[in-house]
Structure 1
């Protein structure tokens, strides 16, 4: 006797990236197969799939309200981006008559194709955080008469593309700060920090070129540093929860009193990180480059330059434009004026009416003779005549031009 049972129920996607992962974007077609392996003849009431995409936030806060009493508050919020339902076998029927219209699957493997389109809208990028997540999945459910359904679930990844080749994300980011240290009645000189990066948008794997100038006029030894931070912000019930994580950092050389240090394009590599999430109402993922001066025994002097981590890398032409704009903007670092001299005004170049009249009178009374006098007489004669009217009839036909050529020195004499 063969025991009838479902050995395998699995979901497979047709399109995989180079890392064998199912990755899609808004508007893409998601297709795949539900594979069922059975032993013996299995009666199936229906086989359906459900595709969902949900951003979910959850955290708990506890407060002591007395010696033995604790107050606990749960914060939860959810936003749905995708909901798709499809029946691959059978149809939805009354549970009181499960045997009616059942489909028999014989021993072996059975494949059932499915497909659906992601919404043409700004979807939230797949994300896993401490207090929230954005997940997309396809779940298959196999229903048999008088038995518990068999379920299988497979997640897929969604990237909401961010193109860094836009004027806003190609604009340089810069800032300047200064701080004076004081201890009781003794005050030391200021510490100044200036920093600049070529643009605001980057993609994972790139390196950020940091241009910085640090001047230490204090009595302490300070160290210039830079760090890339990721900030996760979760919103629920009108309240926010924030988590900041260090992504990458670098360190400069210690700076003695009265010394200065310059970074001429010091590189900070961006590791593989999640793209920025800026459009989700309950989850935000933001990045910032913090260039700071580590001051022993005091509060650090820091500059925060916001960044956007995108998915579409920099184009070649955009790279050249960004480099040119960065070089033009960095003229001030060399002590040269950042703005070019303004062009002269029209009033400085325009010729006055009196000067024009004198020039024309000079043309009417030429002092020379010969060819110069003839040319000036020609200019004076036609000075006030209108231009000739347009006509499609050639006033100089080819025959006349040929005759003129023959009369010139080019034609041999007869």
Structure 2
């Protein structure tokens, strides 16, 4: 009798995106099929499907303690996020004898469905770093009598959603710094930097609007710049390992001595990057926008503004987002007054002849002489210029027993 052969063993997920990737989040249902292709009759004890999710950190440090002595220290840590197992064909693992629970697969393709639900707990987002990773996968194992099992593993992606439409991530980020350059007995003027961004949370593909003011009172030519950094931090055995990578950057114009420069919403594009990982106990992924002044021959003057890269983009119709955008205009956040209202026109304030006659006729029994003098004196004068209006006038000056509210009506002394 010719023994059959297993031609192929594969795992297929039912849900894939346009890039043919399987992407899920916490509490989602993961379903798929295990496909087995055989030629001839194949005897099978079991077909197991195992789903795993694991965050793992590992690095090695070597230290020399003399010319010929060295020792190596390994740092390893793991966090288990998912462990699920199903048996699709055959019996439990303890019934693994050569003739226990045998199923015969005939020539052709055979499909076996599987499904499981991801935990509702906060899962770490899939990630690949230099000293650690967060991976999720489904592994299928086909066990046959007296033969080694056939195994196949296929990974899927998990995103722990971060909604940037929260008050904390919609809050503006700002800072100000100043630095004075000096060399022995010679000191130059200060270099000042103020920078602000409209919010703390962004998603990949967005552009960060940077508002900045740079003033160079030093004797050197400086260059304002901005850079987005990703910081990976790994923890194992009470020790941490950190790596910082440049994600994106931009450059301003060189600034001569005594000159200033303004960035009124200069755009820095965020490329496709991993979302922030903030809840995993052994791996953290954080982002920082650094706005700095490149000082030749000296230490740079820099401002660090923390960012969070999320997965749920900004709701542009949200009133909160509208107010944030309006509050980040270069006029308001720099402390300059908003544009004032235009002054009233002369036609709105000038007294017409008919109004004057009506007023005189309606004022019988009062002191018409003083009222007529007032109108005659001011009826042909234009209204005061807008810049001359006193918003906080002084108390009226007392002339004799009557209050006179215009200086020109007081008799000269």
The bucket for the TM-score relative to the shorter chain is 0.7 to 0.9
Q: What is the CA distance between 1:94 and its match in structure 2?
A: 3.9
Taking the aligned partners of 1:126 and 1:330, their CA distance within structure 2 comes to 42
Task: Report matched runs for 1:42-61 at 5 Å.
Answer: 42-61=42-61
Matched with 1:279 is: 279
TM-score w.r.t. length of structure 2: 0.80
Root-mean-square deviation over aligned CA pairs: 1.3
Matched with 1:113 is: 113
Are 2:45 and 2:96, in contact at CA under 8 Å, matched by a contact in 1? Answer: no
Question: CA 1:117–1:21 in 2, change beyond 3 Å: closer, same or farther?
Answer: same
Q: Deviation per CA, 1:211-234: give whole Å up to 9, x if none.
A: 000000000000000000000000
Are 1:3 and 1:39, in contact at CA under 8 Å, matched by a contact in 2? Answer: no
Note if 1:71 corresponds to 2:75: no
Taking the aligned partners of 1:15 and 1:277, their CA distance within structure 2 comes to 24
Matched with 2:221 is: 221
Q: What is the CA distance between 1:100 and its match in structure 2?
A: 1.9
Are 1:46 and 1:144, in contact at CA under 8 Å, matched by a contact in 2? Answer: yes
Q: Deviation per CA, 1:257-290: give whole Å up to 9, x if none.
A: 0000000000000000000000000000000000
Question: CA 1:330–1:129 in 2, change beyond 3 Å: closer, same or farther?
Answer: farther
Taking the aligned partners of 1:45 and 1:307, their CA distance within structure 2 comes to 53
Note if 1:179 corresponds to 2:179: yes
The runs of 5 or more residues in structure 1 that have no matched partner are 338-414
Matched with 2:289 is: 289
Match of 1:169, SS state, is: helix
Are 1:44 and 1:142, in contact at CA under 8 Å, matched by a contact in 2? Answer: yes
Task: Report matched runs for 1:334-345 at 5 Å.
Answer: 334-336=335-337
Q: Deviation per CA, 1:171-227: give whole Å up to 9, x if none.
A: 100000000000011000000000000000000000000000000000000000000
Q: What is the CA distance between 1:320 and its match in structure 2?
A: 1.7
The runs of 5 or more residues in structure 2 that have no matched partner are 339-413
Q: Deviation per CA, 1:384-404: give whole Å up to 9, x if none.
A: xxxxxxxxxxxxxxxxxxxxx
Taking the aligned partners of 2:123 and 2:217, their CA distance within structure 1 comes to 50
Task: Report matched runs for 1:261-280 at 5 Å.
Answer: 261-280=261-280
Q: What is the CA distance between 1:2 and its match in structure 2?
A: 5.0
How many residue pairs match? The answer is 336
Note if 1:34 corresponds to 2:34: yes
Task: Report matched runs for 1:11-410 at 5 Å.
Answer: 11-94=11-94, 97-318=97-318, 319-327=321-329, 331-336=332-337
Are 2:207 and 2:269, in contact at CA under 8 Å, matched by a contact in 1? Answer: yes
Q: What is the CA distance between 1:332 and its match in structure 2?
A: 4.3
Are 1:2 and 1:39, in contact at CA under 8 Å, matched by a contact in 2? Answer: no
Taking the aligned partners of 1:311 and 1:174, their CA distance within structure 2 comes to 23
